[in-house]
Amino acid sequence: MIRATTTPAASRLQLWLTQTWLTLGAAVLAAGFLQAGAHAAARANFISAHGQKPLALALEPVPPANGIKTLVWQGQDVDGDGAPDFVNPTGQAPRTEDAYGYGAFGASRDGGVRKHEGVDFVAEAGQDVAAPISGYVTKIGAAYADDRNLKFVEVTNPAIGYVARVFYIDPTVVEGDVVRLGQAIGKAHGLQARYPGGMTDHVHLELMGPDQKRMDATAVLTERYVTRFGA
Write down the domain spans for the chain: 9-59, 68-228
Q: Residue 87, class by beta-carbon neighbours within 10 Å (0-12 exposed, 13-18 middle, 19+ buried)?
A: buried
Q: What is the pLDDT of residues 12-57, one digit of tens each?
A: 666 655 666 566 555 555 555 445 444 444 443 433 333 443 433 3
pLDDT at 2: 43
Q: Is the pLDDT of residue 231 over 60?
A: no
pTM score, whole prediction? 0.69
What is the secondary structure of the chain as a DSSP string? -PPP-S--HHHHHHHHHHHHHHHHHHHHHHHHHHHHHHHHHHHHHHHHHH-HHHHHHHHPPPPP---EEEEEEEE--SSSSSS-----SSSSPBP--BTTB--STT-EEGGGTEE--SEEEE--TT-EEE-SS-EEEEEEEEEETTEEEEEEEEEEETTTTEEEEEEEEEESS-TT-EE-TT-EEEEEPP-TTTSTTTPPPEEEEEEE-TT--EE-GGGTEEEEEEEE---
Q: Is the pLDDT of residue 215 over 60?
A: yes
Instruction: Say which CATH superfamily domain 68-228 falls into.
Output: Glucose Permease (Domain IIA) (2.70.70.10)
pLDDT at 30: 52
Q: Is the pLDDT of residue 153 over 70?
A: yes
pLDDT at 71: 77
**pLDDT, averaged across the chain:** 81
Q: What is the pLDDT of residues 43-98, one digit of tens each?
A: 434 333 334 434 333 344 444 456 788 878 999 999 999 999 999 999 999 999 99
